Structure 1
Amino acid sequence: MEAHLTIAIYFIYVCLVLIGIGIALLFFMKIRHIRIQRKKEFYLQKHQDYFKFIQLHLNGVSALPLPPGSLTKLERRVIQEKSIEWIEQLKGDLREKLITLCQDAGFVQDDIKLLDSLFYGRRIAAAYRLGGMRSAEAVPRLLSMMEQEKYSALTIVLARAISKSAERGDQLKEMLHHLLRHGKPIHNMAADIIMETRLDASRILVKLLEDENSDFVKVALAAMWGQAIPEVVPALDRLVVAEEKDVRAEAVKLYLSSNPVLKDETIRDLMSDSDWEVRATVAKSLGTMHAAGSIPLLRTALQDANWWVRNNSAESLALLGETGFEVLCQIAKHGSGVEREIALYHIERTMLQDGDHQKLDQMVAYNKKKLLYERYFGVSESTKVRQVAAVGGDYTA
């Protein structure tokens, strides 16, 4: 019993010692960090004249001068970080001159050597700085690291550095292959990474859309959101009928967002697609495109098994003037089941929203809908259709 008690006491002492060492180490790291930050601030002030000289001569024809004098390791890092900050902010020839300065000053070579460091944090920092310096020289080494690396934070840093630094499209495709081979659902992040390239983004996206690798196609589709790239529209037209469900759905969304002139046959095919996301996307777009000729299709879609398809169809009917609104009133008056519920919901929603009119055309449109409303329900403006929740059907969306 006494032996066990002695062991417990020694164990507590060991734990206290380890805790004390940990606290001391934390204090040491904190103090060291503060000292480094103070030194960095000192070196920034020390080299202010050099920084001002660089800024004044960026537009000149001659090469930028190297940092003056014999510099410490930390001084070189401060100047390097300042150069990277400018590279991120500038474009064109100004950026190229700063990239050349980093190369001539040996910053690129220093960080390429650090890629072989035993310390994980140093490898990440070096890869990050190489991307900031747009180092084309480092791309083969970074690609080799991505090929050997398991999926981790370093993989993302390497991918972004390669995208910023690559000078050829095949390097970007190789980077995407290594990034996506782990099977992670990171297509949106990959799209964000690929758009940081210095290369022509439209040409890169067209090549990715035409690639047989569906992951590349998904990345290109994700990258196209918010991008006005007319060159990719023909590729979208082909992908609208792609076999893979995810690719087809995203292609349809992008295709419709480009406001194309849709043929009636195309609309019918898309509204009968096996994927509910495609049907819902098309139903929503028909109202915003004011496709009055599609009212019969939207009327039929109110009986769709998926709630989103029914909801978007009713919403589009409400946007298609008095003709679409009257179809909703007819369904609300004489229909049944889920289609009646969704029609009632959007009738009330339309009356509440359109009642707040300010322009003459809005007032005229509202009065027309009000007359239709009273014809079917026999109530005044102040009496609203009972509020009905849009329930029933498929909620798996």
Structure 2
Amino acid sequence: MPASSTLSDPFIAAAVWAGLGALGLTLLLSLQIVAMRVRLRRRQAAEAVVLARWRPVLNAAVVGELPAEGSTGLPPMLPGDRLPFLRLWVHLQGSVRGEAGDTLNALARRLRLDEEALAMLARGPRTARLLAALVLGHLRERRAWPDLLELSSDADNTLSLTALWALVRIDPEAAADYLTPMFIEREDWALSHVAGILQQASAPAAAALARILPSLGEAKLPRALRIAEALRLSLPPSVLGAALASPAVPVVIAALRSVLTPETIGQVRTLLEHEDWQVRVQAARALGRVGERADAGRLAGLLGDPHWWVRYRAAEALRDLPALSRADLEALRASLTDRFAADILAQVMAEGSPA
């Protein structure tokens, strides 16, 4: 059959044109990938040149060897140098402490990169704003406060959390007052992120939580108490005692997890007999942290609890009581008539023995 008659078939013609179109698109895509790789390599090569010029200066700043003000010891900051420089600067800031960080800050200000970061934060694309927030947080740049506050409510979680971190770096006390209620409301933010951000403002955050907790409803109290637990904050006994006395089981559980000091030990002892097994678990753990030698009998009573986790945590608490020696635990285990109680205590003692 002649080729012209074959192509006159509409289905065959459509298939041929579709194949040619797919081939053309494949070639275009391949060319685009090649072009992207070429651009990437060029950008990496250009950044390598920038870093080779600035890395010695930054490394010298880390060890306190910043050129004197007004000297010619610094290379010129070219327009293409700024972003690679700032990325390396932020990386170094994340790995140093104390005077080294202050010297890096002084270098950035001498190069007027604080002004550059403020402009990036106000008008830059997403990646530039992220970098700017990190830079301004390390610089503790107060002028960035309004823009960072606005960015902290952005729908993009990465942008908002980075802005919140920068706010804490700039002014821990003001940031704690602003952020703590927000962190309680935003349950979509992981507690690990919240704790990481508030770690540098733990004292102001503790004060803010102490003010906020008495006015919170039962729905929000567990989240607030978990934040206190993540930061290992010692809450005022009156605030913690009120949470321990709550009729809501989630609140009581969260409060027990926050018990770090013995002021509320009486309530903790009472909660060992709570009808909810999860409360008994947390009460046993809390008593292991703050209990006394006299609490050994109370915890031993839980070794026969119907729930395995209660027995296990009670055995752990007995092992962790600082007033009990290994010999005391051996004597207690030998005195137990309940086989399950003796077994769980023996298991926990074996787990805690040195290898």
| 1:39 counterpart = 2:46 | yes
Q: Counterpart in 1 of 2:3?
A: none
TM-aligned CA deviation for residue 208 of structure 1: 2.5
Q: Give me the whole-angstrom Cα distance separating, in 2, the residues matched to 1:170 and 1:211.
A: 15
Unaligned 5+ segments in structure 2 are 1-7, 320-325
* TM-score of the two chains, using structure 1 as the length reference: 0.66
- Specify whether residues 95 and 274 from structure 1 end up closer, same or farther in structure 2 by C-alpha distance, changes over 3 A only: farther
Pairwise CA RMSD:
4.1
| 1:189 counterpart = 2:193 | yes
**Which of 6, 29, 36 is the matching residue for 1:29?**
36
Q: Counterpart in 2 of 1:130?
A: 136
- Specify whether residues 10 and 43 from structure 1 end up closer, same or farther in structure 2 by C-alpha distance, changes over 3 A only: same
User: Map of 1:202-281 to 2, 5 A cutoff?
Assistant: 202-212=203-213, 214=221, 215-224=223-232, 232=235, 234=237, 237-238=240-241, 241=244, 243=246, 245-256=249-260, 258=261, 260=262, 265-273=266-274, 275-281=276-282
| 1:343 counterpart = 2:346 | no
The size of the alignment, in residue pairs, is: 333
Q: Counterpart in 2 of 1:112?
A: 118
TM-aligned CA deviation for residue 144 of structure 1: 0.5
- Specify whether residues 79 and 119 from structure 1 end up closer, same or farther in structure 2 by C-alpha distance, changes over 3 A only: closer
**Which of 161, 164, 167 is the matching residue for 1:156?**
161
Q: Counterpart in 2 of 1:395?
A: none
- Specify whether residues 161 and 315 from structure 1 end up closer, same or farther in structure 2 by C-alpha distance, changes over 3 A only: closer
User: Map of 1:384-395 to 2, 5 A cutoff?
Assistant: none
Q: Counterpart in 2 of 1:367?
A: none
User: Map of 1:326-337 to 2, 5 A cutoff?
Assistant: 326-328=334-336, 330-332=337-339
Q: Counterpart in 2 of 1:335?
A: none
Check the 8 A contact 1:99/1:135 in 2, yes or no.
no
Check the 8 A contact 2:281/2:313 in 1, yes or no.
yes
Check the 8 A contact 2:66/2:103 in 1, yes or no.
no
Q: Give me the whole-angstrom Cα distance separating, in 2, the residues matched to 1:208 and 1:156.
A: 19
Unaligned 5+ segments in structure 1 are 333-341, 359-397
Check the 8 A contact 2:269/2:283 in 1, yes or no.
no
Q: Give me the whole-angstrom Cα distance separating, in 1, the residues matched to 2:263 and 2:181.
A: 36
* Matched AA of 2:193: M
**3-state SS, counterpart of residue 255 of structure 1:** coil
- Specify whether residues 179 and 74 from structure 1 end up closer, same or farther in structure 2 by C-alpha distance, changes over 3 A only: farther
* TM-score of the two chains, using structure 2 as the length reference: 0.73
Q: Counterpart in 2 of 1:365?
A: none
- Specify whether residues 14 and 217 from structure 1 end up closer, same or farther in structure 2 by C-alpha distance, changes over 3 A only: farther
TM-aligned CA deviation for residue 138 of structure 1: 1.7
CA deviation vs aligned residue, 1:169-193 (integer Å, no higher than 9, x gap): 2334434555554431512321112
